[in-house]
Chain A
Amino acid sequence: MKCRCAKTKKRLMAHPRDTDLPDDLRATLESCPECRAFWSRMQRISGLIALKRYEYPDLATLDRCRRDVHQRILDLQAKAQAQAEPVSWSAVWGTTLPAFRFSMAALFVALLGLHIFSASHLPVLHTSERSMAEHLQRAEQAQADQLAQDERPNPEFTIMMLSNWTPRVQQDSAVQFIGLGQ
């Protein structure tokens, strides 16, 4: 019988123990020295590695491990429970860190200052009728003042006219008269 060793070796790997070898594989092993040697080496390797199962910790180590995990789980549960309970504002304020309380106070002062500053510098919006009337009145007064100013003689124009048809002495007097002299 011709042995296809590579295929047999692969099949052998699926049956790591002697006890569960199928009959055809067992027959192949008996007839092929190469497969038999391979199987024998693999069995030895497997057996040697399996010796590591005799290395294990003592009971105290495992107990300590379990106790530590147990304690850590209890701590986790206590923490989760504390987070889930509703807390009043006063309690939070009382137990909060001083730095947080100081920050909150500083923020309040800053906001108050900003409010006062904006009230004195920003234009006030007049919404009431009274305010609107006052505003109109002030606008009319400003307009009247502007008109009155416009009716006053233009000093430059006056000087130009005087220089055209009055003698020099009279020009000086006129300049003094209209208030442009030094």
Chain B
Amino acid sequence: MAVCFMSENDKERSADVQAPEEGGEKDSVLVKRAQGGDVAAYNELMRRHQGKIYGLIYNMTGNQQDAEDLVQEVFLKGFKVLKRFKGKSSFYTWIYRIAINRTINFVKKRRNRFAISLHDMDAAVEADPAYVELSSKESPFRDASLSELQQKLNAALQTLSEKHRAVVVLHDIQGVPHEEIGKMLGCSSGTVRSRLFYARQQLQAELAEFTP
């Protein structure tokens, strides 16, 4: 499967997120057609962006089923209010904003009935420099299993507040630049940096065993 978030560095990942139009018609053209009621055009938009939206929601909720349901809700809501989309931002920023708001509301509501349900990590993770370092001979965690690491990462992420988690997921996992995150969350890039700073400090405390 083509992985939306996998690339070597931040710039590449940013470019990946910002340029989802894989040939064919531009997003703006598809949006115009979809605003006229063309379901096929909206289907194409959905195909282009659903991987990233799924990733965002999945990492925010930590649950596969919730992620599936919310992705459907987000795109359905997007279609219903598409006529109100004026094109001041890109379609992906706009649909991300819907996804973030929906997910934050959802996570706030389900606070007391939380269950983690994760996808398996792709085997490609073993070639990632961060994982290679972790499993090196010098590391005290070379024998830790992948699923154990996965569980700990998720648990640490879930300790963050919704807003801090959103920033970490968007920036560290999906590689969205600060300015773009600011547009999505309706705040300045300075606020995004500040949230990222505090989130990482908290994560450092949670994952202290992995960062000696």
Contact = CB atoms under 8 A, between A and B. Distances in A.
A115 interface: no
A85 B109 CA distance: 39
A68 B71 CA distance: 11
Interface string B175-205: 0001000000000000001001100100110
A4 B4 CA distance: 39
A72 B204 CA distance: 43
Given A59-B1, A65-B54, A69-B46, A50 B9 contact: no
**Which DSSP category, helix, strand, loop or mixed, fits chain A's interface?**
helix
A19 B9 CA distance: 8
Interface string A60-72: 0110111011101
Contacts of A50: 128, 130, 172-173
A55 B10 contact: no
Interface stretch (B20-28, B84-92, B100-108, B119-127): B119-127
Contact of B200 (A46, A54, A66, A69): A46
Contacts of B67: 57
Contacts of B174: 53
A74 B42 CA distance: 11
Interface residues on A, range: 35 or more
Nearest to B178: A14
B68 to A, nearest CB: 6
* 10 tightest Cβ-Cβ pairs between the two chains A and B: A47-B130, A53-B5, A54-B125, A13-B197, A54-B122, A54-B121, A49-B172, A55-B119, A17-B10, A69-B75
Interface of A: 9-10, 13-14, 16-17, 19-20, 41-42, 44-59, 61-62, 64-66, 68-70, 72-74, 76-77
Given A19-B9, A48-B130, A51-B153, 20 more contacts: A9-B197, A14-B178, A17-B9, A20-B11, A42-B200, A45-B203, A45-B207, A46-B200, A47-B128, A48-B210, A48-B211, A51-B128, A55-B118, A56-B1, A57-B54, A62-B51, A73-B39, A74-B39, A77-B37, A77-B39
